[in-house]
Amino acid sequence: MSLRVKLDQAVGNAEMLLLAGLEKLQTGRVYNPTRPELREDPYPYYRELRENDPVHRSWPVGGWILSRHRDVTAILRDPSFSSDERNWSRFRRLSARNKRAGFPDPYESERASMLRNDPPDHSRLRNLVNKAFTPRAVEQMRPRIEAIIKELLDPLGAHGEMELVRDFAAPLPVIVIAEMLGIPVEDRDRFRQWSDEVIRTLGDATLEDRHSSERAMEELGAYLLSVADERRREPRNDLLSGLVAAEEAGVRLSENELASMLVLLLVAGNETTTNLIANGTVALLRHPEQYRMLGQEPDLLPNAVEELLRFDSPVQLTSRMVTEETELDGRRLRPRQQILLLLGAANRDPEAFPEPDRLDVRRQNIRHLSFGHGIHFCLGAQLARLEGVLAFRALVERYPGLELAGDQVEWRNNSVLRGPKALAVRF
């Protein structure tokens, strides 16, 4: 690591400490997602923020933190708020630091995912893959997903216990998205490893995390592009062949856009569904009467998945950039400020959900924000829902006496994606 990069890192750390101190001085509170207690259970802190400072001025964020359901929903549905990080006042300075540390600018290299693009680029990229994720297309996958679940759980029957993340929640979505893309069976384990490395850049990543993630992204992108080259020569009936051939208004994906799209599909389709199944299992086993209810009334499963997504969201936060001066709750939001949207906090807002800290698989009108809202609503929401319903159906049918094998759950060290590192269960 060069002296300049070390200096950049030291300056950046000092700057964040100073800004956090200013935030504490000005507001009486500081949003620090790295606090250990927020890994274990962030919801008491969310409640305090939502009740006492719902439009929270944050200097480390370079803008605002919102925690109420109505505010988060309004920002997500308003196209004047941008997902493009180039509209953040600190982007140019951070980009310069990143380049000195050896990280490419994703916008200059066409590697920014559609999650971080606005229309018309977002629309062009999303339209290329929309057809693969329509409700009808997803429903056609039901028999294969059921078969994969059986293949994963059958060998565990005689053991009486399993590590649910490793044995079930993690491999299921990897296999499903790999088969959708047409990736060989022998490469699934590498897919999962790459995915685990790529997400290390989310949240409070160290410089080492970011370099590891960048290497994984390069390796994964190169691998996927090599498979794409095979599909150009010999197309098949899979999503990757469709992306290679797809055109929207006569414009194909560039090579870097294709690689970025494929990485996004893998990581987003993998991590969120893994955490849905794992978080949902933790919640149900901590509320065993709800778990038993699903075994007795399996028709509740689709509704239960929505409640589990609300109760402990796999994705805890997202962000937008202010492009037009506006007012919110008496606060002036200025152009080029960032807004951090706490989806997990919004999902526990009592204004939107009566008794929000109570898990209720019979709850009605569950307008959770775990899949986002507006034009960036999760592309794979229908697929995640189907995988969740089928996964929980298999668990309650096969293991009516399922229980946690320990009192403590160790949560992953990530402030954006929430889920356990491992989950030992007995049956």
- Please write the tens of the pLDDT for every residue from 65-85: 999 999 999 999 999 999 999
Question: Any idea which residue has 């109505």 for tokens?
Answer: 70
| 185-199, 360-374, 375-389, 402-416, range with the lowest pLDDT | 185-199
pLDDT score recorded for residue 285: 97
CA–CA separation, 224 and 259 (whole Å): 7
Question: In a 10 Å sphere around its CB, with 0-12 CB exposed, 13-18 middle and 19+ buried, how is residue 246 labelled?
Answer: middle
What is residue 418's DSSP assignment?
-
Q: Is pLDDT above 90 for 357?
A: yes
Question: Any idea which residue has 């950039």 for tokens?
Answer: 321
CA–CA separation, 73 and 55 (whole Å): 14
Is 313 in contact with 368 (CB distance < 8 Å)? Answer: yes
- pLDDT tens track for 268-285: 878 899 999 999 999 999
More confident residue, 263 or 58: 58
Neighbours of 54 (CB within 10 A): 20
CA–CA separation, 101 and 2 (whole Å): 8
pLDDT score recorded for residue 328: 96
How far apart, in Å, are the Cα atoms of 231 and each of 62, 186, 228, 255, 380? Answer: 44, 18, 5, 14, 23
Q: Is pLDDT above 50 for 17?
A: no
**End-to-end alpha-carbon separation of the chain, Å?**
49
pLDDT score recorded for residue 370: 97
Q: Which residues pair with 251 in a beta bridge?
A: 248
Of the candidates 412, 427, 377, 327, the one whose C-alpha atom is nearest the C-alpha of residue 115 is: 377
Compute φ and ψ for 207, nearest 5 degrees. Answer: -60, -40
CA 71-77-82 angle, 5° bins = 95
pLDDT band, very low/low/confident/very high, at 15 (cuts 50, 70, 90): very low
CATH domain 3-426 topology: Cytochrome p450 (1.10.630)
Per domain, the residue ranges of the chain are 3-426
pLDDT score recorded for residue 139: 93
User: Residue 354, SS3?
Assistant: coil
User: Checking DSSP bridges between strand 161-163 and strand 338-342, what pairing results, if any?
Assistant: unpaired
